[in-house]
Structures are given as structure tokens and as C-alpha cells.
Structure 1
């Protein structure tokens, strides 16, 4: 290794005719400590207006694009925000690659993203689709029970991502939604391990393609070894949700979907924030957990891909004006440097959501971390860039991006998936709705409904009513906490009273955005029909309600009968609530 940045560069690592492993060693042997350290950090980055480079984002405390690449030698970034057009995203990506090409070794940047294709008002779990085709959330994909559809989604998303330069998907999420109150269920494939594994593998195949290479998007499957068994369903972004519990002694069951993803060739893994309580594993967050990352992931499963921690395990930060401590669960007493040492010793390769390159450089310079340990992970991180073809062709065709992203064919496929995901839970005969009837609606634009019936102003005037609801959740102290829908699954009394009042006047259809398995009994008792969705347009919903599209969706989890049943269930055991109102797989045809 040369610490002299002025040394003449041996650029044979750019020769695509050489084996990748040889190219890695040629490049690695020339990298300075700072250049190696830059590989280890993957964090959020902002885009300038209309595809310009960004001077930073004060809201999220992000430095300029140039500071990241030139000042910190970083080259892995999670893109925040939605550009008005795909072409703008592509132009920004190309400018980022030009910036990277100006560095001594010209190591290209790798752009990643959280999910961008689904309907969601929860930026903690997903980013709005913007110009991309729009699909149901993963729970909705699970409701289709269609692995071919999921693989097709992955293939379309792959084409749209690569058109704008996104090469790593920080998904799929194959955690099992075994704790009904858990706030992250929406991005999972539900409660069943076999279905989650089947769909997770299809998702990976779609994104990565038939063989991994220049046309692929690398998938970072999360959250190993399964984040579902959260105590009381709380989210481990926050200290009150840091514990994962296994009263059913069912830790192994949560590994099942990951095994399917490994068999499908999943390239990267993100461990969860949570810390296991009462198991054979160390009681520290999974990103710090050597018994899990090395003993289980690396040794037992033989995984030699990239392991990137969840965001913000090392340093404290600020989100939306609020102090936000590092999610260093079980090791809160350690300094940031000590946390970094423990993460690397555990077997991780990258620090998610961090940009403190100076800490890692200092640990190597002090002899605390041997540089040879950095080389182990650097090889994995460089290998991914080489195999994705970023050294040969880092740029994208910005002029073509707008035609590819959100293409009519892709949007039609997303619309069809939305319709296929809608799940009819109960129906006393009101569905399908007759053509041209008088409809009273809430939560649906009247102009949309006009194609299906005559909109009236009051329930008393209507032949039927349609009410769209959001599954309930508790309001918490901060805006950021409220991005994570947690707490009670019971609808507020005023919501139940309103549904009952409308339903007493007219046959009423209630559609619920079911991001968690809400207590639906009182709604079912009042309404003539109850329907579940996981991100669908009003047109898709009305097509199913009217019989223009077939009702095909099936529940991806049980619907509990009561809060008492939820509280008595074991969070690590699937289908464990007593006498559920509707069981996994339930769904009516019309």
C-alpha cells in the first residue's frame, strides 16, 4: 500500500480483460489509508435542483457532494428525495461520476436507494415514487401470492433504477411480521416464512437479473437475522424499542426467508438495530453482534457478500431539529471509536448512515485496527463496483432516462399489480357495486368516482357509501417517531362511531390501508363490506369494487380479534393470536 498520493497510478485495474480479483489487488495495493476508509461509509446524499450537484442539505445535516467525494474520499451514497424527472436524476448521477473521476484513482460512486415504487405516506419506510412506476407496497405484493409478478416488478424496477444510475437497492425486507404491532410490517412480505422466502427470492432475481453484472441492481436484504419479534412492536430506531424477544424460542424460524435469498444469490445484507434478549447470542444490537454476523451469517450460512449496518450506529445526530442518539443498543457506554471497532470485529463491511471517515483513519493510524482488516472489506466493496461494470461504464444515458422510467408498459404492470393486491375481507352482497348508482364517498376524489357512479353529498342520498381509512396508530412525541406507525391497533372511538353512523343510513364499503393488522371487528360489524389495501390508486380500488377487475388478493397475515389477543401472543411466533378474525390467506372473490 502506498501512502503517497502523488505516486504514478498503475491503471491496469481499468483493464476489463483481466480477472476481477486481479484488478481488485492492483487497485487496492495503490490505495492510501484515506481512500480505503472512504469505501467503508454509506450515507445519505442530496441532489441539486434539476440534476445539479448539491451544496448540501441543512435539514438533514448533509455536506456538499464535493465534500463527500473530494474531502472524504467517499463513494457509496443513499440518494434522498425525489427529482421532478428521471432525466434530472440521471444528470445528477453523471455529474457525481464526473466528480469521482476527477479523484486520483477515479473510483466510481455507487448510488443506492430505499424503495421508490410504492404508494406510501411514511418516509421512514419508503420514498415517494415520483417519476417511477407505482406498485403496491411489499405487503400488497405478498397479497397477490404471485412470485412471477414479484420477479416482474423487480425486473421493471431494475430497468428504472439503472436508467438513472441507482445500482444498489436497500431492500427487500424479508423480516417476518410476527408481532402485529410492529411498525415496519408494511415493507415485509407478511407473516408466513415460506411465502416471504419465495417472494424475497423472486424479488432478488428480478433486481439482479439472470446473472449478476453490468445490468444488475445489487440487493441489500434486511434486516438479518429478522426484525419482526420486537418487544411490544416498538421500533428500534428509538431506545424504547431496542429489545427483540423470543418467548416462543423461535429465533431460527426467522432465518427461513434469508436462506431463500441466499440461495437466490442475494449480494448484500443489512443487520437490524434490535438486540436479542434471552437467546444464545450476545445482547447487543445486531450490527455489533459477532455471534450473529460472523458466527451465524459468515460461518454457518457461508455468506461472503457485503454487510452494511443499519443507519447511525456510531455517532449521534440530529433529525428534523431533534437530537437523535446513535442506535448503539447494548453498547451505549462505548465511545464512537469503540463502537466502530466492535462493528468491524463483528464482521460488517460498511457503516450505514455515517460519514466519520476520520475516526476510522485514526483507529488504523493508532494501531487499534490493523490495515489488513480494512483490506478484507475493501475487497468486497471494490468487487461489487467491478462486477456492476461501474469502472467500464459509470455513466447513464440521461436523454433516455425519461422514456424508460415510468414507461407506459411499466405503469400498466404496476396498476395491474395494485388491482391484484386488493383483498376483500367481508361482503354482505353490496359488492360488486352496480353501475351508475349514487355514491357517497370519503377519502376518494369525486371526479374519480364519477366514472363509476353519481356522487352525492350525503349518505342519505346514496345507494352505497365508500369510506377509505388508514389503519390506526398512536401519536408520539416527535414528527420522526410518527413516521413509524406503532402502538394501539384499535381504531379511535370517533372513527368507529362515524363508520357506524354512515352505515346505519346506507350500505357502506370501508377500505382500509392496512399497514398493520388492525382490529377490524367493529368495522366489520358495521359495514356492508370491508376491503384491505397496501397502496393502491382510487381507480384500482373502484375497478375491483365495481367488478371491472377481479378481486384476487389474499391476506399476508392474520387479523387479530382483539388487543387482548395481541398482547397475549408471542412476538416471535407466527399466527399466534387466539381465534383471529380473519386468517392468513383469507380473501373473497366477487
Structure 2
């Protein structure tokens, strides 16, 4: 149906008119089917010739009872991953998206353009785009400026294909490394997560906010029972606000995030997609969020298919939209039943109108009505500059946990180097689960990855004749889709029962060859860890949870055998969660944790190993001594260790830890003021960091605070500030800190953030355990203060020549 002539001169088409007036004019012209069409997405395989086809999946759109033409007749709110749904060259994908957009603009009655969204957590998740490191790597840099540049670079690539919304960042605060989605997080500290997430949002959206970031998963998703995907969450309201909501609050208030995505789980029996208090109460009313709330894929459907709080799709839709949802993703399976929900009295038309207004407002803000089409000639999803940003993120994120003088190799490189392990020559081993080559496995497709492997980088740096390779074992022999359906059909999984077998290999047949290679070399580099893959197509990633912190498969036996042969052994661990080394932590010559460093990871590793660059990555999460210590986080309560302290409690390598090839000394702590008024005061102090070693290096200074006496039990310490500080050898830097009193808040019984007068200990160190300077400060005041909506969330830390 072409657009009505009468609509062509309507107020809503006037770009100069105020957005609110345009929205009101357009809403008044819409029929109920046209309104409902704006509240869901379409999941299609687009074609430039306009012959679009359904994208069928087990968890959403197993089958459809309408045609594509019927779906598009009244318009569409969003199109789901037009270039990321299947393998398509970017220019052709843009032409296909434009064909759909032309149909929306020219062939529907009102001509409302469609928004498109793509995944962009570790780069734009389409064919050919730059493959960035995992968010754990982002956090391990402790470099907020760099992560803003990462977001900006990804945003530029997204805009070039006409993308309007990116489904990132993940602001879940890691609380259990067994959880497969740990790799998607910025670590275990809410302030670090908040700062990194906020800067990523600022970079992605840009000053014009013409591309929406999506904060997810709102909220508490990472605190699930047993670290299992979608499992219920058991947290009190104080912990929920202080730990899990803080990063979202920061990104909403400091970065004006354009969208938020609820999580799959329930908290105290209330699924997040149906939680009106969380979405309407906290997010919109309390924080002032003015963007879109979009469902996680199939999240509305799960309200009746898994959670059992609705008896059908219409009721599920009513629950979600009454709670404050704006758009169902990835398709239409529940939203199309909203008319039934209205007829039953389960939802009021005013709720529908409010959601439609928010969707239309977003489209007007994005300028979609004036610029609906993407330019195929402007596509730029990979460039030397983007590759350089990705490589820098990898270089700054790789962490040296131990070094018994085995590194760097440098000019005195041993004549023979053994490169061993299942991840040494696997390009997918350097990628996180939401990178396009890995994601294809779940879709039943396979793509050759252009990523250089560590083995290739070693040979390029040291020469083919000096590097001997042995795989040693497989982690997964055949990469394929794992779970029967996504997000996991409970009945089907129950029916499979004991016959469900892990794809992880237990074959020991390649270990002898690895031992032979190690014996023939002067030093052995053993690459172990994870393979990211969604829904058990890998050993880490969404739906790929674990019950252990032992290396998957037979990798521990491989490492045991190599270490036992006597050759100095350097362990290089990659993947999406930390693992223990089976007691060999004291026996290996060096231990490197690289997480998933992306397309530039192999070159970055060799640059660090050779001494061409210095290690500067720091742990964004603790490495528990064993799975028995889980959950373990540095900012635990004092009694978390048990009484007496449990022998297995704690972490060998604590939050914030990381070594380099030089040593730093801290000193000259000076206070500008140690007393600050509770009403908007701040503490100011400085200290010096000296490079006392033999090479230039970057220290990550960390500021922690401990509340000495409070009205509720508080953590033993909390991160309040940090800064990367480059110090040339023999030089020193003066670090200046401004810590607002507001940041000493916690949540009271009313759910409000408050600051209490009293004493606090300020701890300055190179990790949460390694504290070098400290002092006591006092918050002065006669009564507890409740913080306003806009409170000071950031600690200012800067460094200057000493």
C-alpha cells in the first residue's frame, strides 16, 4: 500500500517541527495494527531484490503462521541483524537492507522507516568486520580512554552499514567465573564495569547520539544459581543496587545510553522482562532514562514458555509491555497478540500508545525520516586504523601473572622454542563468542577466520626453523552447534537426560608428541584455555557454563606432562574465564593470561613475550583458588571467609593484579584535606610512583576505600579510582586524586543511596591485595545524607611529571 497523498504533507514529515509534535501527529494517524507493528522486530534474511525470507530458529520463529508480506504490511519497528543474521558481503547487505527500507518508506500507508540493530560487543558482528578483543580484555587494560576509542571505532563501522542500534555493552558484574558469559563482562567490580561501560557507550553513540548503545542484561544476570545460564538470582535489594545496578545507573546518567535490554532470569520470582518496578520504577522514573527498552531475544516468549507467569503469548506480551517494554526482539511472536491482550483487558491502549511514542521518538531523534537509507559506497567495516585500535587493546590487556626470569626472550632468544597446545594454532581460540566467525558455528555455518594464530606469529618473529609445534590435545575435535535448542528447551533437555554427552575431547593420543617437542627445545610455550562458543558449541560463552575451574578436557594432563619433562615452561592461557593450573602455578616458569585478544592478539603476545613491549594488563576479576571458593570476589564481606577462615577461600591472583618487566615504588603521600563535609565535599591527595626497574613501564594505580563503621555490613574494600601511569625508567610521576564524598555511598532500607558521617580508610596500591600507601579520612556531618538523582559518580585521577 503506497503512502497516502494526504500523509505526504503531514506535520510529522516536517523536519523543522519539534519532535514531540511530530510524534503526537503521527500517533494520531495510526491504526492499532500500525501501532503494534512498531512494537516488534522482524527476523528475516534480506535480499536486494526484495524477496526477503524468514530466518527460522528453534528458540524463536520455529515456524510462522503469517507471510513476510503480511508481517510488513503495516510497517515494522526494527529489523533484526540485517547483515549479521547470515553470511553476506557488507555492500550487498546494505543494498538488501535498503530494499526493505524502501518498502517501509514507500509502500506502507504512513511511510515509517524501520530501525536496524546488530551485535557489536567485540566488533560489528558481520562478515569482514574488525575482530576486537573480549570485554574482559577491555577491562584488563584499565584504560578508559582506549575503550572509548574502541566504542567509537565500532560505532563508525556500524554507521557505515546503516545500523541504528548496537546490542552492547554488557554491564553484568561478574560474580561466578563458572558462568559462560563471564567473557562478555568487564569483570567483578561495579565501578570498573561502570567506568568502562560508560566510556564504551560514549564512544559508540558519539556526541550526536545517532547510534544507540544497548545496556544489558538488566539486571543481575551474572549472579545466577551455580553460574548457570538463565538460572534464578538470589540477591537482596541493597546488594542489587550497590553492585549490579550501579554500572547501569552510571551509563544512563553519564553517557545518556539510548537503550536498555532486560535479562532472562527472575529475581525473587519476578522475571526481569515483567518487572515493572525495575523498568518503569527504577530505570525510567528514578534515573530519568528516556530511551528504548528492547527485549532480549525470546525474552517475552519465555514468560509463558519457561517462567510460567503467563499462559499464552498474548498474556506474556501484556506483562512485558505493562512493565515498560518498547520493542520485542528478535521477532513478533508475542507482540502480534497484543490486540487479543487488549480485548481481554490485560493491557490498556494507553500503555500501547506510550510505547509507540517512545519508538517514534527514537526514530525521529535518529533522523530516520529524513535519512532512511544507508550508502553502499560508504561501507567501511575494516581499516588499518581499526586494526591498530584492536591490536592496542590486545597489547594493553594481556596479563603477566608470574615470571621466574623466563621472559622476555629478547636478544638472547633460545635456539629452539616449542609451541604446544590446542589453542596455539586455532584462530578461533583468540575470539570471543559474539565475534562473527564463532557465532556462525551456532547457525550451522563455518567461516575461515583471517586471524593470525600464535604459532604463525612465533614463526614470523623467531623463524620457522627455530619453532617446533605439537598440538598435544584437542579441546573440542569438531566444532558444531551444541544444545538441542536455544535458550534451552527444558522438556527436551529432560528427555535427553543421561545421554547428553559433552563434545569436549578426552583423547590422550597427542601428548607424547608434545613431550618430545618440549624436550627438544630450550623453552616450551604451552597454549591452553577455552574455545568460545554459544550454547555448548564451545567451553565458554552464552549457555556454555562449567562446573569446574580445571582446564577443559585433558589440557591439565598435557601441561603436567610437559612440565614434568624439565624444560622451562611458559603457560599462555586464552579464553573467557580464568582457570587453575592443577597446582602447577609454582612449577611453571611464567604464566600469561590473555583472555580472548581478538585479531591482533597473536602479534601482541609475541611483542610482549619478546620484550618489544612491556606487560601492563591487570586482572579485572579474581582467580579463585579452586571452585570451592566460588563465589569469590575481592570486595567480599569480612565473614565471607568463614570462621575459622576456610583453607580454600581466597585468590592466588587477586583483582587488579599484574606484573611487568620493571618495578614500581610508591611514596610521598600528601593530603590536601583529610576532612570533607558530607554535603558535597571531596578528598584531595597525591602520591608518587617511581620506575625503579630497568625498562620503561606502565603502572595501574588503584584507589580503594574501606568503611570503618557503618549502619550495615560493608565490603572489606571497594575500588573508587584508577589510572594507567606511564613512567620511563628512572623517572617518577605525581598522581593526584580527587575523591568525592558522594562515592562513599551505599543503599539503605528505603532503596536510596546514602552517605554516613564517619571514618574511612583510603588504600593505594597496585592491586586489591598489594597496598603500598594508606590513610584515614573523615566525612563530617551531623546526619546521614540521601543522594540526589545526579550525584558525583567519578573519582578524578591524573598523573604529571614528578
In structure 2, the partner of 1:589 is 660
What pairs with 1:18-417 in structure 2 (closer than 5 Å)? 18-42=17-41, 44-48=43-47, 54-59=52-57, 61=62, 66-67=68-69, 70-71=72-73, 73-79=75-81, 80-81=84-85, 83-101=87-105, 102-115=107-120, 117-118=122-123, 130-212=127-209, 216-236=210-230, 241=231, 243-246=232-235, 250-253=239-242, 254-263=244-253, 264-277=255-268, 283-315=269-301, 328-329=306-307, 331=309, 334-356=311-333, 357-401=335-379, 404-417=380-393
* Aligned-partner SS, 1:24: helix
2:181/2:542 contact within 8 Å kept: no
Task: Report the Cα offset of residue 367 of structure 1.
Answer: 4.8
For residues 456 and 3 of structure 2, what CA distance do their matches in structure 1 show?
Answer: 64
Aligned to 2:550: 490
Range with bigger deviation, 22-31 or 247-256 = 247-256
Residue-by-residue CA offset, 1:115-161 (whole Å, 9 max, x unaligned)? 2635xxxxxxxx85632222211110000001111111111111100
1:44 & 1:572 partners in 2: Cα distance? 42
Cα distance 1:493–1:293, how it changes in 2: closer, same or farther (>3 A)? closer
1:433-460 residue CA offsets vs partner (Å, 9 max, x unmatched): 2455322113334443212222125111
Partners of 1:474 and 1:248 in 2: how far apart?
33
Question: Equivalent residue for 1:123?
Answer: none
- Is the contact between residue 46 and residue 62 of structure 1 (CA under 8 Å) also seen in structure 2? no
1:200 shift after superposition: 1.0
> In structure 2, how many angstroms separate the alpha carbons of the residues matched to 1:489 and 1:480?
11
| Residue in 2 that maps onto 1:516 | 577
Match of 2:563 in 1: 503
Tell me by how many angstroms 1:179 deviates.
Answer: 2.1
292 and 572 in structure 1: CA distance in 2 versus 1, 3 angstrom threshold: farther
Equivalent position of 1:124 in the other structure: none
Structure 2: gaps of 5 or more residues: 426-454, 470-516, 642-648, 662-802
Q: Which runs of 5+ in 1 are unaligned?
A: 119-126, 278-282, 317-324
Conserved in 1, the CA contact under 8 Å of 2:188 and 2:633?
no
**Separation of aligned partners in 1, 2:183 and 2:456:** 29
Which secondary structure does the structure 2 equivalent of 1:342 belong to?
helix
Higher RCO (C-alpha 8 Å, min separation 6): 1
Q: Deviations over 1:331-381 (max 9, x none)?
A: 1x5322222111122222222234134311332355543322211011110
With over 3 angstroms needed to count, the CA separation of the structure-2 counterparts of 1:155 and 1:307, relative to structure 1, is same
Q: Hey, what's the Cα distance between the residues in 2 that align with 1:268 and 1:561?
A: 38
Contact 1:520 1:559 in 2 (8 A): no
What is the count of residue pairs matched by the alignment? 553
Aligned-pair CA distance for 1:531: 1.1
Matched residue, 1:322: none
Larger Cα-atom Rg: 2
- The change in CA–CA distance for 1:310 and 1:105 in structure 2 (over 3 A counts) is same
- Aligned counterparts, 1:464-479, within 5 A: 464-471=523-530
Find out whether 1:444 has 2:503 as its counterpart: no
SS in 1 for 2:12: helix
* Contact persistence 1:423–1:553 (CA under 8 A): yes
Q: Is the 8 A contact 1:553 1:587 kept in 2?
A: yes
Q: 1:534 aligns with which of 585, 592, 595?
A: 595
Match of 2:615 in 1: 551
Following superposition, the deviation at residue 258 of structure 1 comes to 1.1
- 1:549 Cα deviation from its structure 2 partner: 2.4
SS, match of residue 130 in structure 1: coil
**Displacement, 1:476?**
8.3
Structure 1 or 2: larger strand share? 2
Change (3 A) 1:424 1:580: same
Shift of 1:103: 1.5
Q: Distance in 1 between matches of 2:304 and 2:407?
A: 50
CA separation of 1:221 and 1:572: change in aligned 2, threshold 3 A: farther
Secondary structure in 2 matching 1:186:
helix
The 1-side partners of 2:170 and 2:580 are apart by 24
Supply the distance in 2 between the matched residues of 1:230 and 1:266 (Cα, whole angstroms): 25
CA separation of 1:371 and 1:87: change in aligned 2, threshold 3 A: same
1:456 matches 2:468: yes
Does the aligned pair in 1 maintain the 2:624–2:630 contact within 8 Å?
A: yes
Alpha carbons 1:315, 1:354 under 8 Å: kept: no
Q: Secondary structure at the match of 1:429?
A: coil
